[in-house]
Amino acid sequence: MRIGILGSGLMGAKLGTIFARAGHEVTFSYARKEAKLKRLARAAGGGARAGTPGEAAGASELVLLAVHWSRLDDVLAQAGDLAGKIVVTCSLPMSADDTGLVIAHTNSGAEALAKRLPKARVVSAFGTVPSEVLFGVFAARKRKRRPSLVYCGDDKRAKKVAAGLIRDTGFDPVDAGPLKIARYLEPFTLLIGQLAYEGEGGPELAYRFERFSA
Ligand SMILES: NC(=O)c1ccc[n+]([C@@H]2O[C@H](COP(=O)([O-])OP(=O)(O)OC[C@H]3O[C@@H](n4cnc5c(N)ncnc54)[C@H](OP(=O)(O)O)[C@@H]3O)[C@@H](O)[C@H]2O)c1
């Protein structure tokens, strides 16, 4: 699949690299220096490229949105028309100083994004784990017990594609339902962040949901 990365920071750089190593055609975009994008593309291999957000989005069936919430207007303006595309967002609607969610309870960042892009097929995924765990999960993908990754969205086919990408990354996809479930998923991420960055044992943290019957 052709994948455009909009935001090549902690999340976008790692996920883009993993997607390329899993066999996808990746274009990295949106960093402050073009040299960084080129370096990422070279290191990822698999024919990965560096480009502008317009090039990354234009050539792709799926884009990963991985920018700070405060950069949303800018990156969307540069990406151009996303109609018909699958937009996987890991971006949380955090305040400028990253102390809390600026959208919550009766709305979510993912829903606000979908309202901005009514013709795109928005899926919320990957935002519930810290970037530090991504390479480790990918490296352990052959193991039987995989960590979970919750995702949600309203478009059935887009969700199926996103679930495939979640599997490629080494997680076990857990369909949490329609996009409005991002209202639960986004604050859940703050808990994960608390455990990853303030808890003991380091930020390489993933989670697994299990069902038990007596
Ligand atoms: N980090 C995590 O573990 C984590 C986990 C879950 C969810 N998230 C969410 O994922 C999203 C991305 O987080 P992140 O940690 O990957 O952010 P990040 O490291 O700050 O990456 C953001 C990207 O945007 C680029 N950028 C920022 N300002 C720019 C500008 N003026 N012009 C061009 N490019 C610009 C950065 O460029 P440079 O590369 O030059 O800095 C970087 O490539 C956020 O919404 C965050 O809440 C993050």
Residues 76-123 pLDDT 10s: 999 999 999 999 999 999 999 999 999 999 999 999 999 999 999 999
Written as six digits, the tokens of 9 are 């920071």
Q: How far is the CA of 152 from the centre of ligand 1 (A)?
A: 21
75 Cβ contact partners less than 8 Å away, ≥ 6 residues apart = 6, 7, 30, 53, 65, 67
Distance from chain centroid for Cα 119: 19
Atom nearest to 33 CA in ligand 1: 40
Confidence of residue 138 (pLDDT cuts 50, 70, 90): very high
Sheet order of strands, 25-29 included: 49-50, 25-29, 2-6, 62-65, 86-89, 121-124, 148-153, 172-175
State the average pLDDT over residues 126-130. 98
Residue 62: predicted pLDDT: 98
- Answer yes or no: is the C-beta of 29 below 6 A from any ligand 1 atom: no
- Answer yes or no: is the C-beta of 92 below 6 A from any ligand 1 atom: yes
- Answer yes or no: is the C-beta of 39 below 6 A from any ligand 1 atom: no
In the block, residue with structure tokens 């480790």: 136
Q: What gap in Å lies between CA 4 and CA 30, rounded to an integer? A: 10
State the average pLDDT over residues 134-142. 98
Q: What pLDDT digit, counting tens, does each position of 55-75 carry?
A: 999 989 999 999 999 999 999
Nearest to 83, CA basis, from 116, 125, 50, 124: 116
Q: What gap in Å lies between CA 26 and CA 20, rounded to an integer? A: 6
Residue 203: predicted pLDDT: 98
In the block, residue with structure tokens 């703050």: 190
Residue 146: predicted pLDDT: 98
Q: How far is the CA of 6 from the centre of ligand 1 (A)?
A: 9
Residue 8: predicted pLDDT: 98
Confidence of residue 214 (pLDDT cuts 50, 70, 90): confident
* CA angle (37 as vertex; 39, 202 as ends), nearest 5: 80
Atom nearest to 132 CA in ligand 1: 3
Nearest to 63, CA basis, from 2, 140, 142, 3: 3
User: How do the residues of the chain divide into helix, strand and coil, expressed in percent and rounded to 5?
Assistant: 40, 15, 40
- Answer yes or no: is the C-beta of 181 below 6 A from any ligand 1 atom: no
By alpha-carbon position, which residue is closest to atom 19 of ligand 1? 9
Q: What gap in Å lies between CA 112 and CA 103, rounded to an integer? A: 8
202 CB burial (10 A radius; 0-12, 13-18, 19+)? exposed
The model carries a pTM of: 0.98
Spatial contact of 136 and 151, defined as CB atoms under 8 Å apart: no
Confidence of residue 210 (pLDDT cuts 50, 70, 90): very high
Residue 70: predicted pLDDT: 98
Q: What pLDDT digit, counting tens, does each position of 12-52 carry?
A: 999 999 999 999 999 999 999 999 999 999 999 999 999 99
